[in-house]
Amino acid sequence: QRAYIVLSHHIMAGLNATEATANQKTKSIILFYKYAPLSDDSDKMYILRDALETLCSQLHLKGRILLGMSTDAEGINGTLSGARDDVEACVVALLGKDGFSEEIDNRYSDIAKDFWNKSEEFSQAASVPPLYLDSKEDFKWSTVQSAEDLFPDLKIKLVKEIISTGGKLSSLKLNDTKQGYLNPEEWHEEMKKLNSAGQDDEKSNTILIDCRNHKEFQIGHFDGAMDPNTKTFEQFPRWVKQNRAGLDGKKSAHVLHWGHSL
């Protein structure tokens, strides 16, 4: 009888595992951000917030979106998940009516057009260009097999900073954030110079700093990069202040995240 009970438990466990696997679905995830002038008027910002909430709700997307309240250097930072077709429709909408060359699926055309109209309404109210992403390459895609939603709900918040620095960098102007960025070819050339000189060489005046968190640094980093050993980017300005003596007079190259360096 004991053997029968044990065997029954194994059979039921196997059936439950099979059922769980069968219930799993492919969930798509997009990450995106853009610095752009918006508004520091909450009433105007709620026009854009409501437009994004309607768009995501109609596409059954869940996740988190931060909208930075500023007339200059803030913008949008988001992570959304859902079915592939729904996420793709969201990307179409976020690229703007002039930013996507492919034809919109009829299932989503009204949703996208409604979002564009509301974006134009915000644009006119705030006297700024509509908040659209520049290209498909601005979205980082990934997929996960899961029977459950990856986020419990959809939250869209109005914040002072879309990437928190504890207010340390919130005074930067939008044009200042564009200074110093290197394209891939320029970055590789700098890495060649740095590796040939050697970071420990007294003649080298360049240091390489990985601004990502410690966990990301451990997963992979450039040879010779310094690890500030932070958990969040908010801690990085404090690390700079604490290590200013060793940084003064140096030319620094920063890894912000894979694909974005300066």
Q: pLDDT digit string (tens) for 28-81?
A: 999 999 989 999 999 999 999 999 999 999 999 999 999 998 877 789 999 999
- Bridge partners, residue 29, by sequence: 81, 142
pLDDT of residue 261: 41
Structure tokens at 130: 């509509």
pLDDT tens-digit series, residues 170-210: 556 656 666 677 777 888 888 888 877 665 554 567 888 88
DSSP, collapsed to helix, strand or coil, labels residue 252 as strand
pLDDT of residue 20: 47
Indicate the burial class of 121 (C-beta count within 10 angstroms; 0-12, 13-18, 19 or more): middle
pLDDT of residue 29: 95
The helix/strand count (H/E) of the chain reads as: 9, 8
The mean per-residue pLDDT over the stretch 228-257 comes to 79
Which of the residue ranges 10-14, 107-111, 128-132, 164-168 has the most confident prediction, judged by mean pLDDT? 128-132
Cα 36 to Cα 128: distance, rounded to the nearest angstrom: 9
CA 24 to each of CA 27, 153, 181: distance values in angstroms, whole numbers, following the listed order: 9, 19, 41
Please check the confidence at residue 212 and state whether its pLDDT lies above 50: yes
Cα 62 to Cα 125: distance, rounded to the nearest angstrom: 27
Please check the confidence at residue 19 and state whether its pLDDT lies above 60: no
Other Cβ atoms within 10 Å of 13 Cβ, number: 10
Angle between helices 109-126 and 42-58 (to 10 degrees): 170
pLDDT band at 260 (very low <50, low <70, confident <90, very high): very low
Of 13-27, 189-203, 215-229, where does mean pLDDT reach its minimum?
Answer: 13-27
Model's pTM, two decimal places? Answer: 0.68
Of 105-109, 119-123, 141-145, 198-202, where does mean pLDDT reach its minimum?
Answer: 198-202
- Among residues of the chain, what percentage have pLDDT more than 90? 37
Please check the confidence at residue 262 and state whether its pLDDT lies above 50: no
